[in-house]
Amino acid sequence: MNFSAETTNLDCQATVASASSGNQVGLRGIAAILPPRTRDLDDLQRGGLLVSDLSALNQLGFEIVHTCDPGHDVGWLALESARLAMSRSAVESAEIDVLIWASALSETHVQSPEVEARMPIEEMLGRFHYRASWLQEELHLDNARVTGVAQQGCAGMFSALSVGHALLVSEPSLRNILCVGVDALPEGAPREILYNLISDAGCAVILSRENLQCRWRSFHQVSKGYYWNIAEKQKEIIASYFPTSRAVIRELLCKAGISAADVRWILPTGVSKSSWDILANIASLDPGRIYRAAANFGHTIAADNLLNLQSLLESEKALPGDRLLLFTYGFGSTWCGLILEKV
């Protein structure tokens, strides 16, 4: 990163030119949902599910979390968000050519057994009971090929979108790609990670070439395996967040061929609100353009940005031509940014 001069990056300009063919692709349908059950800070503290003091989390802007229950589990989140995205985009099951499942937690990739395995081999086979395949069957996505994205933490859905976008650009025969991102913490797991309160949630996006709500402008991802050991590098991860985020956003804007001032809406994650004000400041973005859904849901692993994007689109505040910036960080570590343009 160079502080002493504004970047005029010729490599980046070249990237803009070569990436322009991908601008015909975009988001056709968007859905993000939270499970209905909520728990407030007092409740979480009583349950021993917080690491920090209740007052500290209050000061950081957290109030409640949404958590799965037996009737609203990972499968429910996936099905509901996928169905909603399909209905909103008027895409039929048979028109989905690719299904990409994204989860941060390995157990979320696997369908829980309905009955307890009795033999070791049954237990072993159960580990191959993939959610993506289950979802394909549930939705009758008979023309879809299935794949998954993992090991990206909270950036998993961004990676799924990036892979889907790349497939549409590289394979003209593909029509619609359904990306589904779901994560739910195990029952009884701590609900606080690095000073952020975590909700369960699901989201789905249909990427397409037609009937777009938002056109794809640019994507940028930086991964730093140096930070793979979260327990050991926790402090370094926190400290690296801002400088690397700033660098990623600069490159993202450069790839899109726009300046920070051209960003009309910033769709944040649900990590502490103050961190977004800081990030906006250091990236020369206008913090007044941060859009949050009215409901305070804390931080979901996969769906924050899409919950906010969904709310923005429903509010009709976004106008055609508006540039939207979505950004997230995921354990691993991965920083991802996405620029969309409202159609």
Binding of residue 226 to another protein (CB under 8 A): yes
Kindly give the residue spans of alpha helices, DSSP state H, lying in the chain.
10-19, 41-46, 54-59, 74-89, 120-126, 131-139, 156-170, 230-256, 273-282, 304-315
Which span sits near another protein by CB under 8 A: 121-129, 146-154, 272-280, 311-319?
Answer: 272-280
Closest separation in Å from C-beta 22 to another protein: 26
CA distance 273 to 80: 28
If binding means CB under 8 A, how many residues of this protein chain bind another protein? Answer: 31
Q: Which is nearer to another protein, 67 or 333 (CB)?
A: 333
Which span sits near another protein by CB under 8 A: 37-45, 271-279, 290-298, 312-320?
Answer: 271-279
Q: Which is nearer to another protein, 159 or 272 (CB)?
A: 272
CA distance 97 to 240: 38
For residues 121 to 160, the per-residue mask of contacts with another protein, x marking binding by CB under 8 A and - elsewhere, is ----------------------------------------
Q: Which is nearer to another protein, 283 or 324 (CB)?
A: 283
CA distance 300 to 198: 5
State the SS3 of 222-263. EECHHHCCHHHHHHHHHHHHHHHHHHHHHHHHHHHCCCHHHE
Q: Which is nearer to another protein, 88 or 233 (CB)?
A: 233
Q: Which of 4, 8, 170, 173 binds another protein (CB under 8 A)?
A: 4
Q: Which is nearer to another protein, 24 or 58 (CB)?
A: 58
Closest separation in Å from C-beta 116 to another protein: 41
Binding of residue 281 to another protein (CB under 8 A): yes
Which span sits near another protein by CB under 8 A: 129-137, 230-238, 297-305, 318-326?
Answer: 230-238
CA distance 309 to 322: 13
Which span sits near another protein by CB under 8 A: 75-83, 103-111, 274-282, 298-306?
Answer: 274-282
Q: Which is nearer to another protein, 68 or 280 (CB)?
A: 280
Binding of residue 8 to another protein (CB under 8 A): no
Q: Which is nearer to another protein, 103 or 244 (CB)?
A: 244
User: What angle (nearest 5°) sits at the alpha carbon of residue 268, between those of residues 167 and 196?
Assistant: 110
Residues ≥6 apart with Cβ < 8 Å to 115? none
- H helix or E strand, kind and range, residue 119: none
Q: Which of 60, 110, 166, 260 binds another protein (CB under 8 A)?
A: 60
Is residue 137 within 8 A of residue 181, CB to CB? The reply is: no
For residues 242 to 261, the per-residue mask of contacts with another protein, x marking binding by CB under 8 A and - elsewhere, is xxx-xx--------------
- The residues pairing with 330 across neighbouring beta strands, listed in sequence order, are 334
Give the footprint of another protein on residues 38-57 (CB under 8 A): 52-53, 56
| Per-residue burial over 93-104, b = 16 or more CB atoms within 10 Å of its CB, e = otherwise | bebbbbbbbbbb
Is residue 339 within 8 A of residue 252, CB to CB? The reply is: yes
Residues ≥6 apart with Cβ < 8 Å to 264? 289, 318, 319, 322, 323, 324
Binding of residue 272 to another protein (CB under 8 A): yes
Name the residues that contact another protein, by CB under 8 A.
1-4, 52-53, 56, 59-60, 195, 224, 226-227, 235-236, 238-244, 246-247, 272, 274-275, 277-278, 281-282
